[in-house]
Chains A and B, each alone.
Chain A
């Protein structure tokens, strides 16, 4: 009896070992290192020097602009994604003809097969001097600058992360019991009341999943602000690259990274709560 129990536990441990080891080496250890770095000091020649100080955290306001940009553009970007994604997911799940559904879904996912870097470069051209502004110049609208603006970054964000928002919303709408919609209509609710009273409420888990997914990825976004925002729209991701690779101020970079992780955790926690509260279901699928 005891021996077999021990054996089954051993087996479980063995099966979990590779994943556990992987997470430990590549997630837990680096994170501990980052925490240790964040209370240290910058060595004179760059890098890390052991110390125990909160000076790096006290210095966070020096990068307030990056935090500010991220904390404003990430939620706005996620929200813009949500607004664009919801009608698409709604159409796919509830209106699209059954036989077209898979093809349409594939069309949404296929761009993912190309590197985001290439697709963002394409946007650089489209928004750059020889792209849309050049076309508009023919129409008499001169001197319109699109590239290197917050608007361009937002556009890139929506473009890049849209599928990540569409898919979870699609899943939650697809799973929606159609008879609930009929029941709502039967009880006298107009289509609009049914949408807000039933459909919207029951797709909240999908929306919060999509929102937190996009939001968390945006908090660490580096590529899109660099290419489409020029030097002007600095995200935390850009600040981190700058601190670790250029100015080699590891402790300060670490402090920023730790703060970023904390913010992400708070975002996830709130999203989880909101979703559980309003959809009423205990099951909340987060990522």
Chain B
């Protein structure tokens, strides 16, 4: 009779407290089958706690965690149909690669035959391109190879859901990009749900079908990567996901999803909002660097002076000082910049498309603080 397929994972009103400290609360999340989901948030936002509750290493203080429709309350980790790739891998140092991979197979009851075990372990190793590495010791492997062993060790058990706890954090940039692609391919081939915990918004956006943005123990927004990026639910998401410029201002008038804003420098713009703003309210306006258009002085809505330019080949990034608004970041592709590159010290006007500015209620304690945890930005 059920029309919707049973979700692979479901959180129903989950909270987790450690004594007086609340790690997460009010978590409601439904993960459809065969999805790649990222739990994204700054450190301490509760994303790892959620992952560990799926794995069974933490019990919710409130609410339920369901895996394929079954309430997991009281089910220990070793009876759950999920496997985890741990941060820093947690490979067994006393076992060689093959025995690490076959560890889960050897726990299965009824027992598998020795031939079956080595066959499956071999397949799993081949899947992560480590065929022939079975007899190596763990300490003889590079970080990237250890990562692959950890993947094979988890996937060999054919879990309903694969949990990944910051799996790429310890790898260098090149390897990380390779592994991102490989993880995506694996997820599609195997057709099982991957839940990825990460604080790296690029990783979350590029790999997953759904991103679940978390902050301070709550889910802030769930959506497809492009939705998260283009339609952030609040100031925190706008600021945490991708780079953005935040401008302070006041609402002067509103009509539905559009508000008129007087920015701190006195200029008037109109911005999109979620309809929750009233005239006179202090707000922040988010403007993505790539939405900014640099023009010859005299045209655009805002006026500033180029302070710094970083040439990146296909694009150039500018730091533009706008009096009373601070320094704005602008990314411009060369096709757009018909007049060629702007030089530092040059006065410039900034324009943008009508729908580009997004207005949010000003919330200094959320938005501003979290900036510290973001990746380093280019500042002149």
Contacts and interface: CB of A to CB of B under 8 A. Distances in A.
B142 interface: no
Interface stretch (B103-111, B120-128, B317-325): B103-111
B77 interface: yes
Contact of A187 (B57, B87, B96, B104): B104
Interface string B77-109: 111001110111011111110000001100110
Contact of B94 (A183, A185, A190, A278): A278
Interface residues of A, number: 22
Contact of B90 (A182, A193, A278, A279): A182
Contacts, number: 71
A285 to B, nearest CB: 15
A280 B157 contact: no
Contacts of B84: 182-183, 186
A277 to B, nearest CB: 10
Interface in A144-203: 177, 179-180, 182-190, 193, 197-198, 201-202
B94 A187 contact: no
A198 B55 contact: no
Interface residues of B, number: 29
B76 A280 contact: no
A190 B78 contact: yes
B104 A280 contact: no
B153 interface: yes
A185 B137 contact: no
Contacts of A190: 78, 107
Given A179-B86, A182-B86, A280-B137, A188 B108 contact: yes
Contact of A183 (B86, B108, B157): B86
Contact of A186 (B83, B108, B137): B83
A189 B107 contact: yes
B103 A187 contact: yes
A246 interface: no
B103 A189 contact: yes
Contacts of A115: none
B105 to A, nearest CB: 9
Contacts of A179: 86-88, 90
B90 A177 contact: yes
Contacts of B88: 179
B90 A185 contact: no
A189 B107 CA distance: 6
A186 B94 contact: no
Contacts of A185: 56-57, 76-78
A197 B107 CA distance: 10
B88 to A, nearest CB: 8
Given A179-B86, A193-B107, A197-B103, A186 B92 contact: no
Contacts of B95: 280
A202 B56 CA distance: 24
A279 to B, nearest CB: 5
Contacts of B92: 180, 183-184, 198
A5 interface: no
B93 A187 contact: no
Given A183-B84, A186-B84, A279 B94 contact: yes
Nearest to B82: A186
A280 B94 CA distance: 4
Nearest to A182: B57
Interface in B50-64: 55-57
A280 B93 CA distance: 7
A179 B88 CA distance: 10
A261 to B, nearest CB: 32
A198 B103 CA distance: 11
A10 B55 CA distance: 59
A281 interface: yes
Most chain-A CB neighbours within 10 Å: which of B92, B137, B153?
A: B92
A202 B82 CA distance: 26
B90 A188 contact: no
Contacts of A183: 84, 86, 90-92
Contacts of A187: 78, 83, 103-104, 107, 153-154, 157
B103 A202 contact: no
A186 B76 CA distance: 9
Contacts of A193: 107
Contacts of B83: 186-187
B345 to A, nearest CB: 54
Most chain-B CB neighbours within 10 Å: which of A193, A280, A282?
A: A280
A188 B137 contact: no
Contacts of B57: 182, 185-186
Given A180-B90, A280-B93, A281-B94, A186 B107 contact: no
Interface of B: 55-57, 76-79, 82-84, 86-88, 90-96, 103-104, 107-108, 137, 139, 153-154, 157
Given A188-B157, A202-B94, 13 more contacts: A179-B88, A179-B90, A183-B92, A185-B78, A186-B55, A186-B83, A186-B86, A187-B107, A189-B107, A193-B107, A197-B103, A198-B92, A279-B94
10 contacts: A179-B90, A185-B76, A186-B55, A186-B78, A186-B86, A187-B107, A188-B107, A188-B108, A189-B103, A281-B94
Interface of A: 177, 179-180, 182-190, 193, 197-198, 201-202, 278-282
